[in-house]
Amino acid sequence: MRAALASTAALLLPVDCVCCQRPDSTLCPTCSKAMRTACLHPQRVEHRADALPVNQLGEALPVIAAGIYDHELAAVILAFKNHQMPALGKVLVPALARAVFTAVAELADPGRPVVLVPVPTRLRAKAKRGYFPLGVLLARMNRSRVLPERVLVEHLVRYRASGQFASAQKGRGKRARSVVRGTLDAPDTRGLARMLSLEAQVLFIDDVLTTGATLAEAQRALADSGLLVCGAVVLAATPAPDPKQGVRSARSK
Ligand SMILES: [Zn+2]
């Protein structure tokens, strides 16, 4: 019955696999399996990004990724973000949930609640797409109750209305950080106070980790709140920067 309905839907709305372009499904069974396999083992990825915030010991903020941004996972994330295909959410939710579970177990103090704080989308990008892909995934995770019990979701960090919209992807290290500096803030003082009274630890959550500059800026936005940031979770991390191209700019503001 379900197969019959699916094939009828495919006739009405012809779709191709977002990975291999095979007809009849948004994600064919072969690519779906490959994507699930690629996300079976969430991994630490902070060594792949050189503009992450660092602690007093010079250690980068720990980041757990569901997978690496290539092959099927990259195709699915890109399609989900750009083509507004909420159908792909159902394959991304289990991958992200597994990464959240790993991050909570590895990075958070077990005695305290954890608050997932989404890294916001630039207003322009959001307006262009008409929706917030990460928000769609988080809402789905909340609805299907796949998050651990002590995990909350609060949209505490936002883009400033008058912020700079330069791409965080340009430049590396300090330069990448300086490009996004001052673009985010945390205006929800009641939300912050509530999380502080619960002694909640912050886990930032984002779709793709590139330089880590946006995460550094998100942490800066929460610096005065008193909240402890224990790490970040992402769907995917881009491959480590090529050391030959990774000449760090000496410029910083
Ligand atoms: Zn396929």
- Residue 63 domain-assigned? yes
Nearest partner of 204 among 120, 111, 80, judged by Cα: 120
CA 49 to centroid of ligand 1, rounded, Å: 30
Q: What are phi and psi of 185, to 5 degrees?
A: -145, 175
Number of domains comprising the chain: 1
CA 25 to centroid of ligand 1, rounded, Å: 8
Residue 162, pLDDT score: 61
- Residue 198, both tokens: 């619960």
CA 78 to centroid of ligand 1, rounded, Å: 14
- Residue 80 domain-assigned? yes
CA 223 to centroid of ligand 1, rounded, Å: 44
Residue 87, pLDDT score: 81
Residue 128, pLDDT score: 67
What mean pLDDT is reported for the chain?
85
> What would the mean pLDDT of 127-137 be, rounded to a whole number?
79
CA 4 to centroid of ligand 1, rounded, Å: 20
Sequence length of the chain is 253
The residues, any chain, with a CB within 8 Å of residue 214's CB and separated by 6 or more, are 119, 168, 180, 184, 206
| CA quadruple 182, 188, 192, 195: dihedral sign | negative
CA 6 to centroid of ligand 1, rounded, Å: 16
- Residue 31 domain-assigned? no
> What would the mean pLDDT of 7-32 be, rounded to a whole number?
82
CA 234 to centroid of ligand 1, rounded, Å: 23
The residues, any chain, with a CB within 8 Å of residue 144's CB and separated by 6 or more, are 93
Split at pLDDT 50, 70, 90, the class of 68 is: very high
Residue 73's domain comprises 41-237
- Residue 108 domain-assigned? yes
> What would the mean pLDDT of 22-30 be, rounded to a whole number?
92
CA 141 to centroid of ligand 1, rounded, Å: 25
The CA distance from 224 to 229, in Å, is 12
In the block, residue with structure tokens 């916001």: 120
DSSP letters spanning 127-167: HHHSS-HHHHHHHHHHHTT-S-TTEEE----EE-TT-----
> What would the mean pLDDT of 95-116 be, rounded to a whole number?
96
CA 91 to centroid of ligand 1, rounded, Å: 13
- Residue 94 domain-assigned? yes
Neighbours of ion ligand 1 (CB under 5 A): 17, 19-20, 22, 28, 31
CA 70 to centroid of ligand 1, rounded, Å: 14
CA 251 to centroid of ligand 1, rounded, Å: 44
> What would the mean pLDDT of 75-83 be, rounded to a whole number?
89
- Residue 70 domain-assigned? yes
The CA distance from 238 to 207, in Å, is 11
- Return the higher-pLDDT residue of 144 and 42: 42
The DSSP symbol for 240 reads P
- Residue 17 domain-assigned? no
- From the number of C-beta atoms within 10 Å of its C-beta (0-12, 13-18, 19+), residue 8 rates as exposed
Percent of the chain with pLDDT over 70: 81
Beta strands in the chain (DSSP E): 43-44, 63-68, 114-118, 151-153, 158-159, 184-185, 201-209, 228-237
- Return the higher-pLDDT residue of 221 and 250: 221
